[in-house]
Amino acid sequence: MGTNYGHPKGEFAEINGVNLHYLDLGGAGDCLLLLAGFSNSAHIYKFFSAHFTDHFHVVALTRRSHGQSEITKSGYDLHTRVDDIRGFLDHLGVESVTLMGHSMAGDELTCFAHRFPDRTKMLVYLDAAMERNLQIQSEDPLRDLNSNKEPEEEWSSVEAYFEYVRKEHPIVTNRWDVWRDELLATVDIVAGGRVRNRFTPEIVKKFSDEMKDFKPDFSKIRCPAISFFAMANIHPRLPKDASKELAEAANAYYRNTVNGWKRENAERFRNAVRHSTVVEIQNSGHYLFLDREEEVAEQTKHFLLSA
């Protein structure tokens, strides 16, 4: 008999007519709201959140059409997503909040701080305070690696789904303790134990279209903010069977082009935000709060308690 898999636990709140999934991760004190990146859910913060519950009431929210939150036909634009955050805080009875966001959630942090400065205490950007650069992406030696491969959307079982993800995205094997529940939160388990991806290509396109032209204006941020930037010398998507020439080109691209672009964004953030701290995390992938959990948590906590 196979393992009886099910969705990880959580709670739901109806916000702006949409059922949003969230995790109340415990603790007492001021509210610290964690926002996941593109395609991820509240479960990605499963362990990282524990570093802050001794001083904060920690809650993680899953945005609409992500994870176990309701899939909607509209509302993918940034202002609607920020309205969802505001509505969720109203639901909790939280007047002011510290926001922490990874990747795409940085857009939401910046917009929320613009629109609701009186409700924003502090901001924590986890590899999230960047202008997107399509030119840099076009220079990636690995850009065509999977261009002709159609992503799978359905599997015969949870085990088959896990096997597929481990093969296509080996990064998950580094922190399977986190990714197991995170992956289960992004699928539906249907009749016969089959697994169907909730995050469809149509949803991906709707969010991507909204994100691609966003230009963050950090100059309007009035609260203390810390921004982490992950720096890597090895391309995170480098195949194990890559040729020596491809490996050298891909790693040089990441070491020089990508890291250089991130340092430009770090300088832009430092110059724009008056009360800012910028931290480079070396030898880390994009999920720096998983790759360098202790280091990122320690520096974040020091900032939050001393700002």
Q: Is the pLDDT of residue 214 over 50?
A: yes
Given the DSSP bridges, would you call strands 18-26 and 30-35 parallel, antiparallel or unpaired?
Answer: unpaired
Cα–Cα dist 22/59, whole Å: 7
Q: Is the pLDDT of residue 183 over 70?
A: yes
Cα–Cα dist 226/207, whole Å: 25
Cα–Cα dist 168/163, whole Å: 9
Half-sphere exposure of 221 (CA within 13 A, CB side): 32
Cα–Cα dist 45/53, whole Å: 12
Q: Which of 236, 229, 233, 235 is nearest to 288 (CA)?
A: 229
The predicted structure's pLDDT at residue 3: 58
The predicted structure's pLDDT at residue 2: 47
Give the tokens for residue 50: 């524990």
Q: Is the pLDDT of residue 38 over 50?
A: yes
Residues 6+ apart with CB under 8 A from 173: 166
Contact yes or no for 163/150 (Cβ under 8 A): no
Given the DSSP bridges, would you call strands 30-35 and 97-102 parallel, antiparallel or unpaired?
Answer: parallel
DSSP 8-state assignment for residue 67 = T
- The helix/strand/coil state of 255 is helix
In which band, very low, low, confident or very high, does the pLDDT at 1 lie, cut at 50, 70 and 90? very low
Contact yes or no for 101/129 (Cβ under 8 A): no
In which band, very low, low, confident or very high, does the pLDDT at 105 lie, cut at 50, 70 and 90? very high
pLDDT digits (tens, 9 = 90+) for 237-252: 888 888 999 999 999 9
- The helix/strand/coil state of 24 is strand
Q: What is the 3-state secondary structure (H, E, C) of 182-208?
A: HHHCCEEECHHHCEEECCCHHHHHHHH
Q: 56-88: string of b/e by CB count within 10 Å (b at 16+)?
A: bbbbbbbbbbbbbbbebeebbebebbbbbbbbb
CA 192 to chain centre: 32
Q: Is the pLDDT of residue 156 over 60?
A: yes
Percent of the chain residues topping a pLDDT of 90: 83
In which band, very low, low, confident or very high, does the pLDDT at 148 lie, cut at 50, 70 and 90? low
Q: Phi and psi dihedrals of 274, rounded to 5?
A: -60, -50
CB burial class (10 A; 0-12, 13-18, 19+) of residue 120? buried
Is the C-alpha dihedral spanning 219, 220, 226, 232 positive or negative?
negative
Cα–Cα dist 176/182, whole Å: 9
Q: What is the mean pLDDT of residues 175-202?
A: 94
- The helix/strand/coil state of 280 is strand
pLDDT digits (tens, 9 = 90+) for 50-91: 999 999 999 999 999 999 999 999 999 999 999 999 999 999
Give the tokens for residue 143: 């850009």
Q: Poorest-confidence range of 3-7, 39-43, 112-116, 169-173?
A: 3-7
- Distance in Å from the first CA to the final CA of the chain: 53
